[in-house]
Amino acid sequence: MFITVPLVLMLAAAPATDAVGAGRKAFGQCLSSQIQPSLDKKLTLSDFQAAIKKTCADKEAAFRAAIVADDKASKMSDADAQSDADDQVAEYVDKITAEYDDYNKPG
């Protein structure tokens, strides 16, 4: 009985976690998939940033929505949930932008 209750609680929480994880994975894959084509096109860093924003907008929106929904389900305020989503998206964009910048440097 005692083992069943925590298991049931973990399974009940799984869909929200899966949505965040799936959103994170899809957004990260979208961002990563833009590096090589952008290098081939010799895009500047600012053009690369514009390209990923446009190309990955739907994945970003889904990732943001999943984070906000999960945070609000955890009783986080709307403002804090939005801030958390902003931070997580920015972290991914900053990482991929830095990676692109490193690949784009001569030498």
Residue 5, pLDDT score: 41
Residue 17, pLDDT score: 52
Q: Judge residue 71's burial from the number of C-beta atoms within 10 Å of its C-beta, 0-12 exposed, 13-18 middle, 19 or more buried.
A: buried
* pTM of the predicted model as reported, rounded to 2 decimal places: 0.81
pLDDT at 55 over 50: yes
Continuous segment of H or E residues that includes residue 14 = helix 4-33
The percentage of residues in the chain with a pLDDT greater than 90, rounded to a whole number, is: 79
pLDDT at 23 over 60: yes
The percentage of residues in the chain with a pLDDT greater than 70, rounded to a whole number, is: 83
Residue 104, pLDDT score: 87
